[in-house]
Structure 1
Amino acid sequence: MSLPPPALRALQGLGAVWTAPNTLIGVLGGLAGMLAGARPYWSRRDCALVFREYPWGPGGAITLGNVILHTGASLEIPCRTYAHQAGHCTEPVIGLHDHERAHVYQYLVLGPFYLPVYLLCGGVSARNPFERAADLYALHGHGWWPLKKR
């Protein structure tokens, strides 16, 4: 079932309010990163404020509400799925922007509960159903929710 665009925007707006505490953490992190060279831009497609060239972290990106902190110059880069990197399977490369957009959608649903639930599910790992769902969304363009039957 597909929602009409006005209804979808209304739900995204409610989700953005619901996840505002997470977004605030992301904005504060992004502002701190700007002092060391991070550059912000709004990504309408990803429903997120993206801070590119984020100066800290092991590389890649992290999503906090409607904010994505990314160490590279662009989210438009290919990357491997968590399962592929862990040696569980062989999958084609995915777009980092698609993977992170799935996390934005997950935050819109769980709001302030996202981070605790995410950590209880295994954190940053191939075992985490939130990461696996984000990878599958990036592979297929649907199925960003981790509890959905595949």
Structure 2
Amino acid sequence: MRRGWGGLLLGLGILWTSPNTLIGLMAGLVGLPAGARLRLRREEMALVFERWPWGPGGAITFGNCILHTGPSLDCPCQTYEHRAGRAQHPPILLAAHERAHVLQYMLLGPLFLPLYLLCGGVSVRNPFERAADRYAMTGQGWWPGRSR
């Protein structure tokens, strides 16, 4: 656990987004009898349900909980802009993309889901998704804003 102000802020972020985490935890637990596996990923600051059996593939984050249909978050994926044909980006690491969403949730708490949906949901138009892609590419800039 981090010490000092960093640990306090981390704890407050986890508490602030706990209603979202509870959604992910409940969905993840439903997946356990169908083959999902639970793992703590400290770097992502999240409980991860791998091999989650439902959905189109990929991952979705709810607070400090990530549901992933694959065997590991340590896999490459394409950015939203690359898939939409708007840019040529190298593959990014899915774990880093989802870590950005965990950070976004910890800042916005219960406000994240409504804002995320208002910004376009799962799409290239969503600034939260573009910021998560940017963070996965550079290690910086997990908050939506102007790209450099």
Bin for the TM-score computed over the shorter chain:
over 0.9
Aligned partner of 2:63 in structure 1 is: 65
- Shift >2 Å, 4+ stretches: 147-150
CA RMSD in angstroms comes to 1.2
Please point out which of 109, 112, 115 is paired with 1:111: 109
1:95/1:109 Cα in 2 relative to 1: closer, same or farther (>3 Å)? Answer: same
Aligned partner of 1:10 in structure 2 is: 8
Aligned partner of 1:92 in structure 2 is: 90
Please point out which of 38, 41, 46 is paired with 1:40: 38
Whole-Å separation in 2 of the counterparts to 1:5 and 1:93: 34
Whole-Å separation in 1 of the counterparts to 2:43 and 2:7: 12
Identity of aligned residues (%): 61
What is the CA distance between 1:148 and its match in structure 2?
5.5
Alignment of structure 1 residues 22-41 onto 2, 5 Å:
22-41=20-39
* TM-score normalised by L of structure 2: 0.96
SS in structure 1 opposite 2:102?
helix
Partner amino acid, structure 1, of 2:132: A
Alignment of structure 1 residues 51-62 onto 2, 5 Å:
51-62=49-60
SS in structure 2 opposite 1:92?
coil
Give the total of aligned pairs. 147
- Mind listing any 5+ residue stretches in structure 1 that lack a counterpart? none
- Mind listing any 5+ residue stretches in structure 2 that lack a counterpart? none
